[in-house]
Amino acid sequence: MTSDTATTGRGAKGNSDDVRLRVDGVSKSFRHVDALADVSIEIGTGEVIGLVGENGAGKSTLLKVLTGIHQPDGGRIVLNGEPVEITDPRNAAHRGISIVKQEQDVVPNLTGYENIFLDQIPDFSRFGVVDQGAMREKAQRIVDELGIDLDVSERVSSYSFTEKQMLEIAKAFSQSIDTDHPIILLDEPTAGLEEAGRDLLFDRINDLRDSASFVFVSHELDEVLQVSDRIFVLKDGRLVETFEASEASESALQRAMVGRETASEYYRTDRQVSIDADADVAMEVDGLTTEDRLDDVSFTLHEGEIFGVVGVEGSGKSRLGRVICGADAADAGTVTVRGDEVRPGSLSRMVEAGVGYIPKDRKAEGLLLYQSLTMNVSLPSIGTDRVSDDFGGLGKLLSLIDHDKEESMAARSVEELDIRTPGVETLVYKLSGGNQQKVVLAKWLQRETDTFVMDNVTRGIDVAAKEEVYRVCRDLAEDGFSMVFIGDELPEVIGMSNRIGVMKKGRLVDVIDAPAGDKPTEEEIIQEMI
């Protein structure tokens, strides 16, 4: 939960005087742009340091320097009192520096133990034969010692999102298991985790302070304050401020990150559209049920309304979004869009009805990362006259793309949503998280979608980018677009929504009004959630 008051890190504070890792005046440039400029930080034994900054501040570059992906242009890295040269990620792991990436790096059709030791299989091989039993036994011992509840013999495809993230932590420890007190770099480790998963992760970090030190990178400032001992703020490649977490606040971190205090109207509630009970209905959900997660869920979404959906992990809120948009099938129930009943269970039918889906994991489900911005924006419109030429009727039949129309569509999106990109042919993976999310929105807007199902639409983007997404949502609502706004962050859902539906054990247990001048408190929502 977000708070503006000072917050202390969990558990016993690490020893910052007993330095394990020191980054000493490190600089790194790309094409005459300073990604890092004379950055110095220290990590003590058992310490958790937070690393924050906007996209482009230098956080990722610093992590890549520490893991040997980039070599610094100047400065040095001192590990356990000795200057070291880190040549590549494997060399970093052997020195005890491992990373847990934001996007999970697991192979679903392999077992947990195979994933943990994927880079170390030769260590378990003799004459070309892998000792699966030894690998499984060692992996289970690692997760047990870390206090992680996983059956490593199961295929990872059966793991929950939280279990996969715990597997990544075990994998990071396994890579540096033979070193004394490793340094674990956590790059947006809570992205995609619901509250219970985050609490579990924070508990593990706290429990492991005797065994390791951590660098915690996150855009979620409340989490950084909660878990860290000290916090380093980067801006434009420079270290601009260092805080003791116990003496810091979100507003102080925001000021240091962006050079100003975040606007008090962060969620632009002054622009919230007022919705009357007799307003036109955009969507009606009636009795949606799935055998494993949803139980008779019904609600009405009005034109111009932002309908928030909250709930603890396992409540069914994300499944609800997937069923509404057709990504998952329903066993019973109907969805009516603008007066027309659309049988749930088909993405294409929902797209035709004017429903667009912003998934929780934009990189895995929302984008073609290694394709251009133009292709991503035009993708839902292929086969329509928006991007397909007629050619006597053959164009639509064969999905022949008119590239001039396609590029015009992309250029319109860049202008309307203020997407920061070198050009419309730029590959999407090169864009910042906030601009990637705008591309996901753009592809549905260009398809003339008027109803959105958004699942954690600001996941993994920085403070300034979140404000931009909130602005876009307000613009859409003012133009009559409607949104089902599913979220894990209560302040965000409360701030953005007209009404808030509370999910619990697969049921919609309450719908709470959230008008601009009389928002419910987090405590009121939590009481319904639990």
pLDDT for 518-529, tens place per residue?
Answer: 999 988 998 888
Element (H, E) at 60: helix 59-66
| Strand pairing class (82-84; 97-100) | unpaired
Residues of the chain with pLDDT under 50: 1-12, 263-264, 394-397
Q: Are 166 and 144 in contact (CB under 8 A)?
A: no
Q: Report angle CA 189, 20, 244 to the nearest 5 degrees.
A: 65
At residue 3, the pLDDT reads: 40
Q: What is the DSSP letter of 175?
A: H
The token pair that represents 177 in the structure block: 């298991």
Q: What is the CATH number of domain 269-354+450-529?
A: 3.40.50.300
Q: 96-109: buried (b, 16+ CB within 10 Å) or exposed (e) per residue? A: bbbbbbbebebeee
At residue 5, the pLDDT reads: 39
The token pair that represents 243 in the structure block: 């805080």
At residue 372, the pLDDT reads: 92
At residue 301, the pLDDT reads: 96
Fold matches, 9-96+181-262 and 269-354+450-529: yes
Q: Domain spans of the chain?
A: 9-96+181-262, 106-175, 269-354+450-529, 373-445
Alpha helices in 155-249 (DSSP H): 161-175, 195-207, 221-227
Its pTM stands at: 0.64
At residue 13, the pLDDT reads: 57
At residue 431, the pLDDT reads: 86
Residue partners of 517: CB distance under 8 A and separation at least 6 = none
Distance from C-alpha of 375 to C-alpha of 439, rounded to nearest angstrom: 10
Residue type for 432, please?
S
Distance from C-alpha of 148 to C-alpha of 251, rounded to nearest angstrom: 34
Output 267-271 pairs: Cβ under 8 A, ≥24 positions apart: 267/470, 267/492, 267/495, 267/496, 268/470, 268/471, 268/474, 269/495, 269/516, 269/519, 270/516, 271/474, 271/477, 271/478
At residue 272, the pLDDT reads: 93
CATH class of 9-96+181-262: alpha beta
Distance from C-alpha of 527 to C-alpha of 357, rounded to nearest angstrom: 29
At residue 21, the pLDDT reads: 94
Helix (H, G, I), strand (E, B) or coil at 96: coil
Residue partners of 105: CB distance under 8 A and separation at least 6 = 168
CA proximity to 44, closest of 242, 181, 224: 181
Q: What phi and psi values does residue 295 have, to the nearest 5 degrees?
A: -135, 95
Distance from C-alpha of 45 to C-alpha of 122, rounded to nearest angstrom: 31
At residue 191, the pLDDT reads: 72
